[in-house]
Amino acid sequence: MAITQQKTLAINGDEAVALAVKQSDVDVVAAYPITPQTIIVERFSEYVADGEVETEFVCTESEHSALTACLAASAMGARTFTASASAGLALMHEILYVTSGCRAPVVMAIVNRALSAPINIHCDHSDSMVERDSGWIQIYAENSQETYDSIIQAFRIAEHLKVLLPIMVCLDAFVLSHTLENVQVLADETVQKFVGLRDVPQVMGHEGREVPFKLDPSNPITMGPLDLYDYYFEHKRQQEEAMKVAPQIIQEVHEEFSQISGRKYGNGLIDAYHLEDADIATVCVGSTAGTTKTVVDRLRKEGVKAGLLRLRTFRPLPLTDIVKTMENVKAVAVMDRSNSFGGHGGPIYHEIRHSLYDSPTHPHVVNYIYGLGGRDMPPAIILNIYKDLQEILKTKRVKRDVQFAGVR
């Protein structure tokens, strides 16, 4: 495959999502608007109103119903999409588990926004981080370009017959959702060819034969039964297996997409920046990585061996990639844009520390909770974090393992 002709559009992250969905030949979009995801639903409504898509758009009365409608449509064999943020995602919580449990490959854009109370519409990752155990694949985008690319890839990953898991593509509120950026977009037919038609596997039904895994009057199956202690555990084990297969599929789809777009995001799971010889490194997800890269560049110019690890997928957690990439790093600062109250650090910190526990170098791993409710994360604060790491490197001592960056 050759890199295809692309157009450059000045669009924001939400518009990039809407466009990617429009191009991906989605059958059913069911959504409920919430700031800062609103633009996605608005733009998509315009596509529908102008007859630019064949999609059935269901503007539901709640996020709970939006995800439910996607789940049910997905069970019909349809390609489905929804989008939400913050309170909306929290309202979906119950159905997130049902969706993954029903193995419905719904794709959802999450515009990361703080959770109430007090009410706040700005960026942090509390909304999606709390859903990390819901059985969804989570991809965090660094910029609007990656958001656009990831939405298209998400359909292929979610619907892959070995995966069949729902995916959240997360983008930072306002920083990405509402900020204009030059986004390279593929031609409609290129995207359509890439995503293809949704297929379903065959399953053993109750009439003693293999039937398509969908609600089909010609081949009836029963989905969503009462599943007790004799089989529930086995179904959960199956979900874990799908998560184990997912990294390979994510990487394959990422690689194939790069063939037509010319764009790559690390290896599709992690994006390592100057980590080969780094002594100190930060770890983060989302748009903060962009700012951090400029800080790393500055430190590198000063001769500091600084690096950055951006997790592109948080679920499945790319554990072996994390360990391998960080094998020479001696001090690590994990940046969490959410907090696990009373849990001694944020969720990414827990996972990175856990990942590096068996690492031969056994690095110091500290945590910075930052940017809650949209608090800015300027280069100066990130620079201070690297300074702290230099201090740890020098003294081989950690003064405080969990800190708040940017709070008064």
What are the start-end ranges of the E strands in 326-391? Answer: 331-336, 364-370
164 binds other proteins (CB under 8 A): yes
By the rule CB under 8 A, 70 interacts with other proteins = yes
Q: Does 93 bind other proteins (CB under 8 A)?
A: no
Say whether residue 162 binds other proteins (CB under 8 A). no
Q: What count of other Cβ atoms lies within 10 Å of the Cβ of residue 35?
A: 18
In the list 155, 213, 257, 349, the residue contacting other proteins (rule: CB under 8 A) is 213
Buried b vs exposed e over 136-171: b needs ≥16 C-beta within 10 Å?
A: bbbbbbbbbbbbbbbbbbbbbbbbbeebbbbbbbbb
**276 contacts other proteins (rule: CB under 8 A):** no
> What distance in Å separates the CA atoms of residue 317 and residue 269, rounded to the nearest whole number?
8
Return the CA Rg of the chain: 21
Q: Answer for the pair 148, 17: CB distance below 8 angstroms, yes or no.
A: yes
Query: Can residue 108 be called a binding residue for other proteins (CB under 8 A)?
Result: no
Taking CB under 8 A as the rule, does residue 344 contact other proteins?
Answer: no
Position 64 contacts other proteins (CB under 8 A): yes
Between the two ends of the chain, the Cα-to-Cα distance in Å is 53
**Binding residue for other proteins, selected from 118, 217, 303, 342, defined by CB under 8 A:** 217
190: phi then psi, degrees, rounded to nearest 5: -65, -45
Residue (75 or 157) nearer to other proteins, CB:
75
Q: Which stretch binds other proteins (CB under 8 A): 11-19, 24-32, 121-129, 346-354?
A: 24-32
Task: Identify residue 405 by its one-letter amino acid code.
Answer: A
- Each residue 348-387 as x (binds other proteins by CB under 8 A) or -, in order, gives ----------------------------------------
What is the rounded CA–CA span in Å between residue 391 and residue 398? Answer: 9
Is 36 a binding residue for other proteins by CB under 8 A? The answer is no
Half-sphere exposure in the Cβ direction for 293 (13 Å, CA):
13
Q: Of all helices (H) and strands (E), which one includes residue 331? A: strand 331-336
Strands 167-172 and 107-112: parallel
Helix (H, G, I), strand (E, B) or coil at 277: coil
Closest CB 191 distance from other proteins, rounded Å: 17
Residues 36, 18 contacting (CB under 8 angstroms): no
Is residue 59 part of the contact set for other proteins (CB under 8 A)? yes
Task: Tell me, by CB under 8 A, how many residues bind other proteins.
Answer: 60
Contact between 199 and other proteins by CB under 8 A: the answer reads: no
Among the listed residues 280, 296, 276, 299, the one whose alpha carbon sits nearest the alpha carbon of residue 393: 280
- Residues 233-252, mask of contacts with other proteins (x by CB under 8 A): -xx-xx--x-----------
Q: Which residue type occupies 16? A: A
Q: Beta strands 6-11 and 28-31: pairing type?
A: unpaired
Q: Per CB under 8 A, which region of 196-204, 269-277, 299-307, 369-377 contacts other proteins?
A: 196-204
Nearer to other proteins, 5 or 218 (CB): 218
Rule CB under 8 A: choose which of 7, 50, 230, 302 binds other proteins.
Answer: 230
* Contact with other proteins (CB under 8 A) among 18, 19, 73, 90: 73
Bridge pairing between strands 181-186 and 6-11: antiparallel
Rule CB under 8 A: say whether 200 interacts with other proteins: no
Q: Does 215 sit near other proteins (CB under 8 A)?
A: yes
Contact between 87 and 80 (Cβ < 8 Å): no
Does residue 322 touch other proteins according to CB under 8 A? no
2 near other proteins (CB under 8 A): no
Quote the least distance from Cβ 132 to other proteins, whole Å.
Answer: 21
Interface with other proteins, residue 323, by CB under 8 A: no
Q: Which of 6, 47, 48, 56 binds other proteins (CB under 8 A)?
A: 56
| Closest listed residue to residue 77, CA positions, set 159, 162, 20 | 159
Residues in contact with other proteins by CB under 8 A are 27-28, 30, 54-56, 58-62, 64-66, 68-78, 80, 94-95, 98, 101-103, 164, 201, 203-207, 213, 215-218, 220-228, 230-231, 234-235, 237-238, 241
